[in-house]
Structure formats: structure tokens, C-alpha cells
A and B are shown apart, each in its own frame.
Chain A
């Protein structure tokens, strides 16, 4: 089985046309010494029915959010995706096309990407968005490299309250290219503006903050941006797109780059991949930003249509002088996000965001009423918050107990922030009902009582 349709007769007649006797003759250029002498040592072939059964078995060795009630966030979020999203991106015309190099045959994908770009600009308040990056972390790293190229400076300053995995990816990207990463530690859960001011200097190409940050707290973006700009550094903000249905867009605060993870916009959590990297910026970076972008053009009769534009930045044209090496991106997920934003619309997006706010605050309040449980942070938050557990109940142990109750508990902050040992980051999206939240609170309460 290989989905190759030729009959033996087809093959014979094609070989005659080519003028060889056997298919093997076509491989004459491969020296004998490097030909594989045995079949690949991989598992035996299975027909579709058997493959499907095998995959179903594998999938059942996992516990998914179909059966677990998810209060885990930390960068990947269990939001509701209406059926219309999957239905639209499952259409073979989108699914089985490729990069729209030939615009005359790809107007549908091009327009969908143009609409995605425009919708992201609407959410973030930025001038322009590209057609996607691999994920939030690489979008952030690429923004930092763009800032380095724009300023000619060699150091990136980031808050330690930016997602730890994003900072890991940033470190990897900067290390190999020979640039420096400085981190601002923060004990209060919100990045300290004085600390920012002290650490910013003339070597800093950019300042990176996440808001809401990894601890769920809103940062002071406007003030931080002013500080960065005073020192000639550019400002990069990592966002949660869902939060922007309610929160002031970073574009209003004169931010230079807005990046983030677009998975919340109707995309499966799928063990964290594939994801959707959001990358938006000010117009002044139009010669420097990475990745593809779609613009409006005209055909030879003056009719409007769409095409990829600002192409001279890209690797296939500029090679080693390109602004980035990215080629394949996450187009289909960008289309999913566009369908999601359209289907939910202005009203639905606000409803989702408002539910996140109300439900997370309700959950935080109820949990904090439990003996020994406190809320160590005092700042504003959107859908994630931190609780401190009593010493006898480490987050890891609590999660084990919650799992038995069918609950996917929060993120153990001590894993990445030793000073926050005993603290858990919880997420409550619009999908969680009051009943589910109450069940969480009750389960935590019982666990604390039982293991006292």
C-alpha cells in the first residue's frame, strides 16, 4: 500500500516510454555501496482499519480533557471552539493546498490570511500582522532578533515573569547567534518598574514583558514602554489574544511588537502542537519583520486581488540576507483563528473574555476561603491566578488527588520558580461551569482535610 495507482500494465508502458527495463534501472546514479541492502527495520504495514484501531488504542492510553475537567493553563488554554472552525479548516481546498506562490489559483487562502492579519491588528491595535509564526515562543524570539537588527544593539532584556519555555527558546536563539539575554527577577508577581529602569541601558535592543504574565497578572505596559523608549530600546509584549477582547490593546500604549500564542483562538490543545505564533508590529518595521504577509494587489485589468507581498525580505529571494529563515508557517491555524474570531464575533469574543474574568475571580475567591489557602498576589488578573497551599500539601500531591476526582489541576510554580514553592497557577476559562468550579473547591477542601 502506498496510494500509488499504477497497474502493472501502466508501469510496463511507462518504462517503455522511458526506455528502461526495470524501475530499479532509474536509480543507477546511486552507488551500490550506499544502497540499502535490507528492508527498513520498521513495524509491519497495517491496513486502514488496523491502523485506526492501533491509533485508537494508543490514544486511550492518554487521559484527555474530554474526560478531565481542565484547570491547567500556563500557555495552553482549554477554550471552547465552535464546530464551525473545524468544519471550515477541514475543507480539502484549504487543507491540501500549499503556500500561495501562485496567487491566481490561491485567492481563497490569500484572502483568509489577509482577514486573519486584519483581525489580529484589530485585537492588538497594531498596524500590521504577518500571516503566522510557528508558535508564541518563536514569534517572541523572532521579534527580539528583529529588534536587534533594527537597533544594532546586542542585548535583550526580559522579565522573569515571561513564560519560562518562551525564555528558554529565546535563550537558544540568542545563544547561537551570539547575543545576550538579561532577565529581571520579580518577587511581587508583577515586573517592578524601578527594576526595569535600572536594568535598561544603551545595549538593550528591546524589553520583553508578557501581559497577563506567566503568573496571570497584568503588567504596567504603558509605563514600561515609556521607559524602554527613553533608552532607545523597542518594546515587545507577549499577549493572550482572548484577553484583548476586554483589555486595552498594546497598540494604544505605543508598543513596537505584539507577539503571542494564538492557540486560544479556536485551536486544539493537542499536547501543545501545532500552535499559532502571532506576530504584529508597527508599520515602520515593514522591511524587517519575519515571515509571510498578504496584501491587496491588482491584476492586468485593474481588478483587486490578493498576493504575498513585501517578499524581498524572504529567504527564497534574499537567502543569507533574509530577515528570517522561516518558510512554512502555520497558515491553516491562522485560518482557524480567523474563522473563530468571525464566528464568535464582537459579541461572542467579549462574552468569552468576560466569562473568563468572572469565573476565575469566583474560583479564586472560593479557594481562598479554604483554611490554609491564600492568594499571594495582589495585582489584576484575567483568567489565571496563583494560590499558595499549606505546607503539608505540595501542588504535586494535590494534583494527584485531583486527578482521581477527574480534575486536571494547576501548574506547580515551584518547578520553575523555586521561591514560589508550594504555589499553584490555576486557569479558569469560559468552559468551566459553576458546578465544575465548586467541585474543584470541594475536592481541594477534602484533600486538605484528609491529609492534614
Chain B
């Protein structure tokens, strides 16, 4: 049953939060703003405060989350978000800072940003870091802008291509295009790894960069990464690391040591700041020394024990955020990293990999595993056997998992694996949860044989059935007010 919207709950004349009367002498608004500038009506809802609370509480209860259940969404690292992070982010000395305050009054904030940048630089095995990007894709865009500036500064202007594997996240090619590059797709070999020979053939002096996710999106470590990076470098290109999968490598191996030149982290994934239903995030970018001059201004420096913002960066590509990035996301990530320390981060990576391999081992009878070898922090199953024999697709299995109380894995990604189900359990789930989830997947595989209809029509136990997006497209309704007006007119 669909909940009423705030507009339908509205009653003319009802008040919510009421402020005290304005305590300065008032003049007429017409006089101050000009009658021609004033609006006639304001179509905002009118609810009591309690009605507001009940409405949004009710919506929240109709929303799946890590706090309420297992959320093995591949590539998204849905690990536990420590409550400590939230308490710390609410401290007035962080939440109540204006970005244009003088440097002397925000020394603690600048110190925190500086420390987090240093820590992320160490985890990356690189030279410098910027917290300005607001999300992973924003980090990719920044990384590509740095690469663009690097080649341009060297007078190497013909490098217009970015090479990207066919298994890559969609943001990679989209970011490259956003930055003005053209995109060529590098195939994946039969082992699920970058086809090194094909890459070699594609490299020449028109290639600006190769973008790679490592571990890649099939859940495997690119073991030839050193060779790959050397090849790209020899052709004069740079190598970008999509760090979405860094949870597998914390304290175990570093992109900088592998030969990558620039990478982004997703602080909302790897470092446990919450995902917030789709954001905010932070896509911190780490680089080698040669790219550091191009990082966005301002940069934070410490001179004589005083932190300051340095805008004097002649080679900088400029700003990419209104101010300094998602500071409160950085606060949470910093708190998490300080809590875990080096051993804790390494342990997190080890347990994440253990959990993924455990699921892989338990599922290999029931599902096809296209690349059945040690995986990293996620494992990609395929429903192609079920599809062939019973017409059951990855989507049907995903929807049926909801009936068993789980959020489905990422499906139909990576694109190179048919009927993909990409499972990332993360390190914070216990064995009982993993066992119960595997039992559900096992049971669904049996249902696919015995009673596929129950999968085709799933989910059955959610507040709403399987939604048809084509209906949404045909009668586009993305704005309640406009839709209500159109209904009235009709």
C-alpha cells in the first residue's frame, strides 16, 4: 500500500514548526523586495510536527538497510557503519564550522583533514591526497583531469584515448567522456582478468590512460598488474585505479606499489561512513608525486605548527567542489581508521576475503561460478544454468531473495558475466548470517527446478510487488504537484 505523500497529508492552515515573532521593527515586504518580485502562492505542505515525524518514520520503516539486515550488494561494501562515527560527526566543533572562517579558528578541522590525507596516502602507497571529490565518480573525474593536465603540461596533446576494461564500472567510461576523452574497451580474458595481449596491441602514443579496478569486478586480483602498469608507462600513458574494491587490500597490498599513478577511495564504502540511501560519499583521490602539482586548490599545509590553506597553486586544475569536499564524511572515516589502526584494517580485509570465499565454496554446487578460484572480497555467481534449464534469471533470484529477508546482490554486473549475481558479504557479517544466506540461495536454486513460477512472480512478502519501470516511463510522474495539476485539468 502506497503511503500518502506530504501533500496529501497537508491541511490548509495547519502549522508545523513555529518561530517566535520577528523582534526587529518590520517594514512592508513590498517596500523591501518590490511587489513585482513577490510570489503569489507557495505550494508547500501544512502538517503538524507529529504528522511529519510519523510520516517519515513510517517511510523509514519501509526501507531495507544494513541496520536491519544483510545487504551483500557487490561493489558497494555495505559493512557495518559504527554508531561512534555518527556521534562524532555531530560534535559542534565539526558540524558548526563555516567554510570561510579564518584559518586560525579551524585549526582542528584542518589538522584532521591533513592527517586523513596522510593516512590515505599511506594506504594507497602514493605521494599526496585530496579530499575534495564528493563521490567515487567525482574522484574518477578529478583523476582524469589530473592525467589530462599532466599530458598537456608536457606538450603531449595528442593523447585523446582512455582504455577501459569491458568489466569496468559504468562510471569509468562516463567520467572519461565527461573529461573530454574518447573511450576504447579492453577485453577480459577467459580467466576473468585483463587481456594483456589485447591491451598491448591497443597501446600507443594516443593513449592518455588505462583505468582498472583491482581487485577487478569479477572479484579477482589482477595478478599481472605490474606488467600492465609497465606496459602503459612505456607507451607514455598513466594508470588509474578505481578503488571501489579497496576493502580487499587494506594493509595487504598498495596500488602505488603495483604501479598505479592515481586512484580514488570511496570513504563511504571502505571506511564505513554510511551510504545514506545513495550519498553523501567522499571520493578521496591519491596520486604519485608527478601529479601532485595539478591537485585542486586549496591544499592544506602545516607551517610552523599552524595549518593553512594554500591557494597559490599555479598548475592546479582548479576547484571541483564549492569548498573542501564532504568534511563530515572525512570526520567519520578518520574516526573509523583511528579506531581500527593498521592491524584492524588488515584484519578487516582478511575477514572480508574469508567471507567471500566461504560463500563461493558453499555455492559452487547450486550455481555456476564462472571463475571459480580464490576470489577477493566479493564473488560473482551466474544464474545462467538456471536460465537455460528453467528460464529463471538473475533478476528472479534477486527478487526471491527478498522473500527470504535479504537484500539481493548486485545483478547483471559485471556486464561480461551473463546473469551475474555479485555478492560482497563484507567482514562485519557473522558465520550464522552467511550460512543462512547460503541456505536461502540453495533453497532458491531448488525452487528454480521445482516451482520456477514462485521466482517469476517474486517478491511475495514485500510491501509492494515487482515494479514495472516501463509504466513509470510511459506516464512520467516525477513531481506530485505537476501530476496533481494534470489530473485536475483532465
Interface residues on A, range: 35 or more
**Residues 164 to 217 of chain A near chain B (Cβ within 8 Å):** 165-166, 168-169, 171-173, 175-178
Annotate A113-124 by CB proximity to B: 1 below 8 A, 0 otherwise: 111011101110
In whole angstroms, how far apart are the Cα atoms of A252 and B43 in the complex? 14
The one of A1, A114, A271 in contact with B99, judged by C-beta atoms closer than 8 angstroms, is A271
Query: Nearest A residue to B328 by beta-carbon distance?
Result: A270
Could you tell me if A345 and B44 are in contact, using CB atoms closer than 8 angstroms? Answer: yes
Q: Is there a chain A Cβ closer than 8 Å to B449's Cβ? A: no
Could you tell me if B63 and A107 are in contact, using CB atoms closer than 8 angstroms? Answer: yes
CB neighbours of A269 from chain B (8 A)? 95-99
Nearest CB of chain A from residue B26's CB, rounded to whole Å: 5
- A40-B122 CB under 8 A given contacts A346-B44, A347-B16, A357-B29: yes
Could you tell me if B320 and A138 are in contact, using CB atoms closer than 8 angstroms? Answer: yes
The one of A17, A55, A123, A339 in contact with B88, judged by C-beta atoms closer than 8 angstroms, is A55
The one of A28, A39, A326, A344 in contact with B342, judged by C-beta atoms closer than 8 angstroms, is A39
Could you tell me if A327 and B29 are in contact, using CB atoms closer than 8 angstroms? Answer: no
Nearest CB of chain B from residue A350's CB, rounded to whole Å: 6
In whole angstroms, how far apart are the Cα atoms of A46 and B343 in the complex? 11
- A6-B92 CB under 8 A given contacts A88-B57, A345-B45, A347-B18: no
Could you tell me if A17 and B358 are in contact, using CB atoms closer than 8 angstroms? Answer: yes
Could you tell me if A333 and B63 are in contact, using CB atoms closer than 8 angstroms? Answer: no
CB neighbours of A60 from chain B (8 A)? 93, 108
**Residues 300 to 352 of chain A near chain B (Cβ within 8 Å):** 300-301, 303-311, 314-322, 324-333, 335, 338-339, 341-352
Could you tell me if B327 and A399 are in contact, using CB atoms closer than 8 angstroms? Answer: no
CB neighbours of A51 from chain B (8 A)? 84, 88, 335, 338-339
Q: Is there a chain A Cβ closer than 8 Å to B23's Cβ? A: yes
CB neighbours of B482 from chain A (8 A)? 121, 127-128
Could you tell me if A27 and B251 are in contact, using CB atoms closer than 8 angstroms? Answer: no
- A58-B76 CB under 8 A given contacts A2-B351, A51-B84, A88-B56: no
Q: Is there a chain A Cβ closer than 8 Å to B467's Cβ? A: yes
Could you tell me if B322 and A75 are in contact, using CB atoms closer than 8 angstroms? Answer: yes
Could you tell me if A272 and B280 are in contact, using CB atoms closer than 8 angstroms? Answer: no
Q: Is there a chain A Cβ closer than 8 Å to B171's Cβ? A: yes
Could you tell me if A318 and B24 are in contact, using CB atoms closer than 8 angstroms? Answer: no
CB neighbours of A109 from chain B (8 A)? 59, 63, 277-278
Q: Is there a chain B Cβ closer than 8 Å to A418's Cβ? A: no
Interface residues on B, range: 35 or more
Q: Is there a chain B Cβ closer than 8 Å to A446's Cβ? A: no
CB neighbours of A388 from chain B (8 A)? none
Q: Is there a chain B Cβ closer than 8 Å to A48's Cβ? A: yes
Could you tell me if A42 and B137 are in contact, using CB atoms closer than 8 angstroms? Answer: no
CB neighbours of A176 from chain B (8 A)? 144-145, 148-149, 179-180, 317
Could you tell me if A358 and B27 are in contact, using CB atoms closer than 8 angstroms? Answer: yes
In whole angstroms, how far apart are the Cα atoms of A123 and B44 in the complex? 8
Could you tell me if A98 and B78 are in contact, using CB atoms closer than 8 angstroms? Answer: yes
In whole angstroms, how far apart are the Cα atoms of A76 and B52 in the complex? 26
- A97-B275 CB under 8 A given contacts A175-B317, A247-B38, A300-B468: yes
Could you tell me if A96 and B109 are in contact, using CB atoms closer than 8 angstroms? Answer: no
CB neighbours of A317 from chain B (8 A)? 170
Q: Is there a chain A Cβ closer than 8 Å to B91's Cβ? A: yes
CB neighbours of A99 from chain B (8 A)? 275, 277-278
Q: Is there a chain A Cβ closer than 8 Å to B469's Cβ? A: yes
Q: Is there a chain A Cβ closer than 8 Å to B440's Cβ? A: no
**Residues 266 to 317 of chain B near chain A (Cβ within 8 Å):** 266, 268, 272, 274-283, 296, 317
Could you tell me if B354 and A26 are in contact, using CB atoms closer than 8 angstroms? Answer: yes
In whole angstroms, how far apart are the Cα atoms of A99 and B277 in the complex? 5
Could you tell me if B319 and A100 are in contact, using CB atoms closer than 8 angstroms? Answer: no
Q: A51-B339, A165-B319 are in contact. List 20 more A-B contacts (CB 8 A).
A: A3-B79, A42-B337, A43-B341, A88-B56, A96-B78, A104-B463, A104-B464, A121-B479, A122-B481, A163-B322, A178-B180, A274-B134, A300-B457, A327-B169, A328-B134, A328-B136, A332-B274, A335-B56, A338-B6, A341-B44
| Nearest 5 A/B pairs, CB to CB | A45-B341, A59-B93, A272-B323, A61-B108, A332-B276
